[in-house]
Copies of this chain bind each other. A is one copy, B any other.
């Protein structure tokens, strides 16, 4: 009889929600630890877009209970020489392909151990596979939830693949950033952190936001403070400058998306 070991497994993939992929990953994990509580972060990451997945993971991981195991699978290189890895931080475990998907979330945590997942006895089948999420990552996550040590799963690694994170450039009276994510409401999340904007406000500086040749003068504290039909800036719930349109899509209105430059100009 298994010890009742409540452990949360949070899944983040680009598998979509119409096939057998997500169910396969969950089934394999539950067959190893039937007491796992599995939470879907999302399975609707745009296909192969591990940068978007990295952003989503970073946006919510720190809210989960200590001990949560995160399994993030957006893996265009599945089956290739890229490794699959397990990372232990002070509070959580992260598993996924070593393609940069875990990188952004790890920038804000102290990493205690990194392992390449290689120990075949924990794989669903020892041989070649085109579905490592089901055959290698899901069982590794489930065995980990039963109390196995990360060292059981493979050799230690000292570094993992990074991905370039776009940081804003600050020059005298201009902060040059960009859109890094568009949510389902069409809100444009930028990489300009709230501290920069808060500084401007505290110092009584006036500023405008320039995006796609549009000048945005309105800065609001809440979505409802905006003028209908007018894009405006606000500090969003993740702590970044966001361009929004109350009850509408700023992304559509402005024709903007990930990568679109956003300038904050002090006037």
Residues from chain B with Cβ under 8 Å of A16 in the complex: 184
In the assembled complex, A24 has its CB within 8 A of some CB on chain B = yes
Instruction: Count copies of this chain in the complex.
Output: 3
Known: A30-B39, A30-B65, A237-B130. A20 touches B59 (CB 8 A): yes
In the assembled complex, A236 has its CB within 8 A of some CB on chain B = yes
In the assembled complex, A115 has its CB within 8 A of some CB on chain B = no
Within 8 A of B (CB), among A1-48: 6, 8, 10, 15-24, 26-28, 30-31, 34-35, 37-45, 47-48
The reply to whether A237 and B134 contact each other, CB–CB distance below 8 Å, is yes
- Tell me, rounded to whole Å, the shortest Cβ–Cβ distance linking A50 to chain B: 12
Residues from chain B with Cβ under 8 Å of A222 in the complex: 78-80, 128, 130
In the assembled complex, A112 has its CB within 8 A of some CB on chain B = no
User: How many chain-A residues does the 8 Å CB contact rule pick out?
Assistant: 62
Known: A129-B237, A130-B237, A185-B47. A60 touches B27 (CB 8 A): yes
The reply to whether A15 and B131 contact each other, CB–CB distance below 8 Å, is no
- 5 A-B contact pairs sorted by A residue (CB < 8 Å): A27-B65, A34-B37, A47-B184, A128-B221, A135-B237
Known: A17-B40, A18-B42. 18 other contacts (CB 8 A): A6-B34, A8-B34, A18-B45, A18-B184, A19-B42, A23-B42, A23-B56, A24-B63, A27-B39, A27-B64, A27-B65, A28-B63, A30-B65, A38-B39, A47-B185, A48-B247, A129-B237, A134-B237
